[in-house]
Amino acid sequence: MVKPVMITGAGIVSAIGCGKAETLDSLSHQRTGIGKLRYLQTEHREYPVGEVKLSDEEMKQLLGIDSEPTTRSILLGMLAVREALEEAGLESGSEDHIAFISGTTVGGMDKSERYYLDFLANDDHNEYIKTHDCGATTNMIADKFDIFSQVTSISTACSSAANAIIYGANLIRSGRADIAVVGGTESLSKFHFNGFNTLMILDPEQCRPFDATRAGLNLGEGAAYLVLESEASAKRRGVDIIGELSGYGNACDAFHQTASSDDGEGAYLAMTQALQRAGLQLQDISYVNAHGTGTPNNDVSESFALKRVFGDEMPQVSSTKGLTGHTTSASGSVEAVICLLAMRHDLIPVNYGWAHQIEGGITPATDPTPLRPLDHVMSNAFGFGGNDSSIILSRHRA
């Protein structure tokens, strides 16, 4: 068991809202953000997505950005970071050593694919070349706020943001940073939209995680960040503590490039490590936000892993990807903020779209009423290649 890391701020933007207030309203009213494509320029418009309901220009206006080259991942990240910093009372000029750890895989791909032919034929849009890679996304978000003394990017597919949270927690616990702003951002792009289509795991209908009729996932986009710091730092700054990061685990079963193992070994190891680090018993966990993509492979594998971990002590479980879509690299932090909101407002985010029991699978929560106090919740994020992460968030007891 290790000392928990305090959470003093959170920011989120996804298909179900820009900011925590809109997100909570959607969760409370069980309102999905999945619908028809609006902004991504692709011919595959038959697939529903969890698109953020803001254009690039609208986001630039909200952020006060005029002409500098930006990408959708950068804009989403800036909105979420700004909300997190404001709640934590952090602003430019702080003398604290503040790290920024951000997960992404798509990076600036949306602009690269739009202007690729121009890159080859002329110099009309060369300013977007520098926005392409993952590190550029992180650096440009960091530059907007002029507060960070250390900047790092994490790219481990769908566990990227969760691993950014874990990395930031290690910086705090080792004394290498006073404060860490951690999470991830990911926009939709033709590159990964068509890539998932090639894998034949996109559902042409509303996705249904853990449902016997599930046929795949709906891609989403979004960004979310947490502000982490030690309890001593939070008390010194006189800021409210909104939760604790009490445990985490990461494991890689290296079973397959994209598929989860049948026995859920990586997921099982990540969850058990998180419990051990938090010093918690099985019955202490009141809710699990499952990775729950809605693909035939993931939901069976994760069900098996959950049963291996919890057995007869199974807590309420749900996937929120039926609401937000799968925000890929950002999903670990998007769902962590959703878990924080669930704890603070005593609600279970329902498993939207579920109706039919998987034989031998878990039965997800469809009632928002918690069966017991949400003092400790677990959030899972599992990436391609078996890079699996699990974190535990706890209610702060002053």
Q: Are residues 220 and 251 in the same domain?
A: no
For position 385, what pLDDT does the model report? 64
pLDDT digits (tens, 9 = 90+) for 170-202: 999 999 999 999 999 999 999 888 888 888 899
Q: Are residues 229 and 250 in the same domain?
A: no
Q: Which domain holds residue 317?
A: 245-394
CB 349 within 8 A of CB 318: yes
Q: Are residues 15 and 138 in the same domain?
A: yes
| Average pLDDT of every residue of the chain | 91
- pLDDT tier for residue 260 given thresholds of 50, 70 and 90: low
- pLDDT tier for residue 387 given thresholds of 50, 70 and 90: confident
pLDDT digits (tens, 9 = 90+) for 80-89: 999 999 999 9
| Prediction pTM value | 0.95
What total of structural domains would you count in the chain?
A: 2
Q: Are residues 286 and 163 in the same domain?
A: no
Q: Are residues 57 and 176 in the same domain?
A: yes
Domain's final residue, options 221, 237, 253: 237
- How far, in Å, CA of 54 to CA of 69, rounded? 18
How crowded is residue 173: how many other Cβ atoms within 10 Å of its Cβ?
15
CB 248 within 8 A of CB 398: no
Q: Are residues 226 and 86 in the same domain?
A: yes
Tell me the residue type at 233: S
**For 292, which DSSP code?**
-
CATH number at residue 142: 3.40.47.10
For position 94, what pLDDT does the model report? 76
For position 289, what pLDDT does the model report? 98
Q: What is the mean pLDDT of residues 94-104?
A: 91
pLDDT digits (tens, 9 = 90+) for 261-293: 566 688 999 999 999 999 999 999 999 999 999
Domain's final residue, options 211, 237, 263: 237
Q: Are residues 348 and 300 in the same domain?
A: yes
pLDDT digits (tens, 9 = 90+) for 330-382: 999 999 999 999 999 999 999 999 999 999 899 999 999 999 999 999 999 98
Report helix angle 190-198 to 109-121, nearest 10: 110
Q: Are residues 315 and 384 in the same domain?
A: yes
Q: Is 199 exposed, middle or buried (0-12, 13-18, 19+ CB in 10 A)?
A: middle
Q: Are residues 224 and 281 in the same domain?
A: no
Q: Are residues 210 and 103 in the same domain?
A: yes
Domain's final residue, options 237, 259, 287: 237
Q: Are residues 223 and 276 in the same domain?
A: no
Q: Are residues 156 and 254 in the same domain?
A: no
- How far, in Å, CA of 393 to CA of 398, rounded? 15
For position 357, what pLDDT does the model report? 96
CB 113 within 8 A of CB 190: yes
Tokens standing for residue 30: 């069980």
In terms of pLDDT, which residue wins out, 196 or 14?
14
- pLDDT tier for residue 386 given thresholds of 50, 70 and 90: low
- How far, in Å, CA of 291 to CA of 302, rounded? 8
